[in-house]
A and B are shown apart, each in its own frame.
Chain A
């Protein structure tokens, strides 16, 4: 096992220990905190599949977070609480929307791609704001968490381990994906797309499928997030949220699987816990911190760990 994989494994074990430790020290609040961290980690992993591995700088990734959330919230609004159904809808609809957005935006590149993905996400954001039926800009409360048979998400610890299991699953799927033939194509495109085309790859279709897979995975994160907050608002899709997810990836280390997880842990804890407790001007500290990371740790926090050369 490489050093980074070992660190990631240790990190996951530590995450598994959060509920008992939180209970022992009488701070159940930490179960909530780290559940939220892990949900964002899944979203960040999904973005890294296209951003870090595929070189597609999608600035609208929070759109799928919102779609996944509304895919749970809207059925629940009509009294449908079956989690299998809700989560399937979240994944399928996110993939379908990613297909549409990707089919248009992947025809562009560079700044245009960034702007178009951003524009699509903002369109969905305003759509969410305008549909009064589902609360408009106020959003709506989730009547009940998704019902998954014997797995009871109302129990905070159970829900925590469901999220942890899905995080591990996302890492495993991501690992297989990036090392498969498909993954090699996606990484080849990031490295040198004209070369890929010259040796015979019709790159567009591979990029589009990668874009869909990332959207679907983030849709699942959205379904988890709405269960976590028990509330859904169009804010889930706001562009600042897309920026947040992107920063997790960049902070942790693009093009690695552990990076987005680490980025999610660090950024969420800084934003939600550490800095606000210290000063109300915490954003003035966070901003320069992120700038320093981008300038001096170009491969993110994970890049600071020495790694054996890849074979």
Chain B
């Protein structure tokens, strides 16, 4: 594992009286798979939203790949290599799977003030998109409208869109949300193929997935990160067991 890719310092966000993110410090190393776990309402999604640029923190800084990105918008962060998937599936439902991914390729292929040539016949967009679709196992579904894909396939499509932006860091907000056992397993297998070649920051409830994928785990409770370390250490941590794993351990 390499250098620090993402460095969060003193990140704080409150909604009225509720402190959703409470002076969070977090380091993600290049190449690692890092999972954030914690009970519902711990502030995991709020944290992801601030990292992705959808929410502005009240205080604190976010440094990514050596530059301060705290003030950047979500699109600007994406163009720097920070890609996110959403907790609730977010695809372009009235576009085909291939169109979805081609748009993600297009977003990173210079400006789009190109008014004349048909984008759907542009090999520089379609070919990389088809390749990414193939790599997540949706090659055969390229021409299907995203709305007509099964739930698990839509989640795979999201991963394809994320990958098509050639990100340096993937922010995955509960990629297994709402999936059946079989679909979950397929997603875990897919994410495992990314492990090592990509840096992953994963928010997930599914403990099997977390322990299967993560090199390091951070535990978030009431907006604070109370522990951070390798999976076996987290499993052994008494405070963590009490705050969170307790329910599962019984």
Q: Which residues of B contact A (CB under 8 A)?
A: 52, 54, 73-76, 78-79, 83-84, 86, 90-96, 99, 102-104, 106-108, 112-120, 122, 125, 143, 161, 164-165
Contacts and interface: CB of A to CB of B under 8 A. Distances in A.
A177 B91 CA distance: 23
3 tightest Cβ-Cβ pairs between the two chains A and B? A200-B78, A200-B107, A191-B92
A193 to B, nearest CB: 10
Interface residues of A, number: 27
Contacts of B83: 198-199
B74 A198 contact: yes
Contacts of A191: 92-95
Interface in A134-158: none
A235 B164 CA distance: 50
Contact of A195 (B92, B102, B164): B92
Nearest to B102: A184
A211 to B, nearest CB: 14
A10 to B, nearest CB: 24
Given A191-B92, A195-B92, A198-B90, A176 B116 contact: yes
Contact of A200 (B91, B99, B165): B165
Given A181-B122, A195-B90, A206 B112 contact: yes
A181 B119 contact: yes
B75 A202 contact: yes
Contacts of B91: 192, 195
Interface in A182-201: 182-185, 187-188, 191-192, 194-201
A198 B95 contact: no
A180 interface: yes
19 contacts: A180-B115, A180-B118, A181-B117, A181-B119, A182-B114, A182-B115, A184-B99, A185-B106, A192-B91, A192-B93, A195-B91, A197-B78, A199-B103, A199-B104, A199-B107, A200-B79, A200-B108, A201-B107, A201-B112
Given A197-B73, A200-B108, A181 B114 contact: yes
B118 A198 contact: no
Contact of A184 (B93, B103, B108, B165): B103
Contacts of B90: 192, 194-195, 198
Nearest to B110: A181
B95 A188 contact: yes
Given A192-B90, A198-B52, A198-B90, A203 B75 contact: yes
B67 to A, nearest CB: 16
Contacts of A187: 95
A177 B76 CA distance: 25
Q: Chain B CB within 10 Å — which of A187, A197, A199, A310 has the most?
A: A199
Contacts of A200: 75, 78-79, 104, 107-108, 165
